[in-house]
Structure 1
């Protein structure tokens, strides 16, 4: 009887504090998708701004519905062969109690599933930056639905689901270095190799039309990323989430400095686009590693990511693949860097007792990280290319050449981002069309 009482006392109970914390974190992660839309929207030319915004926003609609219908079950249901999950009680989220707890934690299942939903929404939206200026909106929407089903939901199970092969192997991915960033970056590379380059790639100037919009988007991403990273511990009881919060800030700041230093040496200027891109590269790299490394380790992760990602974005010109907004250079490369450096910088004093090479742990964890990184990379690259090819050969993945040249916003959305038709209306008034102005006002106008 005493043992039964002890076990009952040790069983997790619902924590209002952790539940509230996780709901706030979920909202922060949701904000990252509009933040990404602004970040990407400012980086394209004027004629593609709205399309870039919509490519992110549509993911909020499509993936949300798929997650309710079957996505949550595939990602986090009972393991089936270490590849997918399934729980028929979760289909349609129709048989989940309001206070039913996520196994081993003090938050309701509903809170966990909505937090993970925001990850599922963001990940395909990341891919869109590689495809700017040239993708049919219907083709993109279908791609999101198929990719989430065939790639994201199973990969999330591999990495975070009990029984998933990477989870069971011991691959460390605190908040999505493999499942989100490598997954999206590899997918982006696979799709752009299928659909081809933009018209005028390496010939026409394709500069960002609004760097303030880019900086706004980067700021929203940075802000939302605290929920993305710190929330992934699913509670706030033991300090690990706080460590991740600190490391998120530290690594991101270091990456900004690393990117800008490289940029100054290589190109002779500190650019705002470089600062924004450096911040994102640091956020990406610390995402898998932040619960395992110390703040000094986070500085190293950020600096390495800032410099190497800045170098990597130029590879598209060398190898001839048109990664419009550097998804491969930032998310794929940054995700790889952050995931592999765990094998060197893990202290054994954070999320687990696993230590990396520099802390006496040898290379065992490094090889596990390699398995997770390259397993996800290979699957996502091949599956994404196949899905893009199927869509390209059926309903079509690209707009016509004339539509691309004229502007995808008008062709796909019948809108433009900026309407200047009313600009200067006051100066254009004539005495016959405007009310008589006071003499003092006329004197000033003159």
Structure 2
């Protein structure tokens, strides 16, 4: 499945953007989140998302209905969409969404508490919100799904609300609790821009599966979705680079890759709702708005390290709301927005979905972060930050620049590592990035 490639794609994308002493930690934060949420998904997550809604309220699925995923094993061989396939496809949505948050708090959280946060966040935030958005009522009315998908009737083809807005606003809440990195806003430069470009390319490939697969069939709808996904990404790259060029006098590789992700984020909810020309508009608007949005972190003083808030939260909001403007009745979603004769109704519906997800996710994410902080502790020590999380959290380094032979139990003293790190920081910090953001 193409969506599975988004896991290493995100790990490489994030890994290339951090400093050279935190590459492995960033990769491990992504894969660690995937592992934790994947286990929870099998135990009760799938059931919480797709089980019959408690009381018909559309807030949470019955967590006992598919407990342990035992019932999906005995699927009908003739079924067009086997339950086990749906389970693993949606599992990848859950793990990617949670892993996205990691980029906001790079270089300052401990690995164990991060895993605890991801488990609690998936159970208390992602699973309920995914039920709101992805769980549709059954055709015969025997199974009732989430309120956003059914009662409200908002259009979110592949997860602009449940995935990107959800992860982006959770990242903001977590950043506010954890605090700024030591020395922020001056930080080490991205260690490997070719790695960033490779990760972005893999993410782009995986996104075709992410969006296209949400059509649930290899037909015209999936084909239209893949076309609009491609169009929006291309337009967003050009728009981001144009903003950089006009504002900063140059167009950067990091900006181009960030533009691609911004376009992919924005088209995710709109990919089945707009025409190819509408997709160009969605991508161009997101590609112009997101690089401007990420500069807000310097104005308001929140340290969103890899611009998860600026790209995912803002891009997700932009894409979700633009459905209300560029939605076409001829597209697979079949609903017309303001510019296609549909009036303001759809725009209002989309806005309600955005506000609901932002409000719930921010409040509960903030509470989870505070609980973890005041029980096991979230923040790494200043010494750990200076030495680098690769060494302090994982006892490894990404780049063996000295070419020495490793003997178990040997190595530099912590004092020597910290002294060396301080010298590196003094000589390798970069001015704040104001034109480039992060992932998808």
Looking at structure 2, the residues matched to 59 and 200 of structure 1 have their Cα atoms a distance apart, in angstroms, of 27
Are 1:341 and 2:317 matched, yes or no?
A: no
Other-structure match for 1:62:
36
Instruction: State how 1:155-234 maps to structure 2 within 5 Å.
Output: 155-162=129-136, 163-168=145-150, 169-202=152-185, 204-234=186-216
Looking at structure 2, the residues matched to 295 and 245 of structure 1 have their Cα atoms a distance apart, in angstroms, of 10
Are 1:94 and 2:70 matched, yes or no?
A: yes
1:269-328 C-alpha deviation (Å, 9 max, x unpaired): 010000000000000000000101000000000000000001111111111000000000
Looking at structure 1, the residues matched to 63 and 171 of structure 2 have their Cα atoms a distance apart, in angstroms, of 30
Are 1:123 and 2:97 matched, yes or no?
A: yes
Q: CA deviation at 1:205?
A: 3.5
- Aligned to 1:235, what secondary structure does the other structure show? coil
- What stretches of structure 2 of length at least 5 have no aligned partner? 137-144, 405-440
- Taking a change above 3 Å as real, the CA distance of residues 37 and 97 of structure 1, as seen in their structure-2 partners, is closer
- Aligned to 1:88, what secondary structure does the other structure show? coil
Give the alignment partner of residue 351 of structure 1, picking from 325, 328, 332.
332
Other-structure match for 1:388:
369
Looking at structure 2, the residues matched to 298 and 96 of structure 1 have their Cα atoms a distance apart, in angstroms, of 36
1:420-444 C-alpha deviation (Å, 9 max, x unpaired): 2228xxxxxxxxxxxxxxxxxxxxx
TM-score by length of structure 1 reads 0.86
Q: CA deviation at 1:370?
A: 0.4
Other-structure match for 2:408:
none
- Aligned to 1:418, what secondary structure does the other structure show? coil
Q: CA deviation at 1:28?
A: 1.2
Q: CA deviation at 1:165?
A: 1.2
Other-structure match for 2:293:
312
Are 1:73 and 2:47 matched, yes or no?
A: yes
- What stretches of structure 1 of length at least 5 have no aligned partner? 1-26, 424-446
Query: Does the CA-based 8 Å contact 2:155-2:333 persist in structure 1?
Result: no
Are 1:113 and 2:87 matched, yes or no?
A: yes
TM-score by length of structure 2 reads 0.88
Query: Does the CA-based 8 Å contact 1:252-1:283 persist in structure 2?
Result: yes
Query: Does the CA-based 8 Å contact 2:48-2:128 persist in structure 1?
Result: yes
- Taking a change above 3 Å as real, the CA distance of residues 134 and 97 of structure 1, as seen in their structure-2 partners, is closer
Are 1:53 and 2:27 matched, yes or no?
A: yes
Other-structure match for 2:414:
none
Segments of 4+ moved more than 2 angstroms: 95-102
Looking at structure 1, the residues matched to 19 and 122 of structure 2 have their Cα atoms a distance apart, in angstroms, of 28
Query: Does the CA-based 8 Å contact 1:251-1:286 persist in structure 2?
Result: yes
Other-structure match for 1:303:
284
Give the alignment partner of residue 403 of structure 1, picking from 384, 393, 403.
384
Q: CA deviation at 1:88?
A: 2.8
Q: CA deviation at 1:96?
A: 2.6
Q: CA deviation at 1:336?
A: 0.3
Other-structure match for 2:424:
none
Instruction: State how 1:356-371 maps to structure 2 within 5 Å.
Output: 356-371=337-352
Number of aligned positions between the proteins: 393
Q: CA deviation at 1:98?
A: 3.6
Looking at structure 2, the residues matched to 127 and 345 of structure 1 have their Cα atoms a distance apart, in angstroms, of 29
Looking at structure 1, the residues matched to 391 and 63 of structure 2 have their Cα atoms a distance apart, in angstroms, of 44
Q: CA deviation at 1:89?
A: 4.1
Looking at structure 1, the residues matched to 401 and 333 of structure 2 have their Cα atoms a distance apart, in angstroms, of 57
Query: Does the CA-based 8 Å contact 1:101-1:107 persist in structure 2?
Result: no
1:170-202 C-alpha deviation (Å, 9 max, x unpaired): 111000100000000000000000110000002
Query: Does the CA-based 8 Å contact 1:89-1:96 persist in structure 2?
Result: no
Query: Does the CA-based 8 Å contact 1:124-1:144 persist in structure 2?
Result: yes
Query: Does the CA-based 8 Å contact 1:101-1:109 persist in structure 2?
Result: no
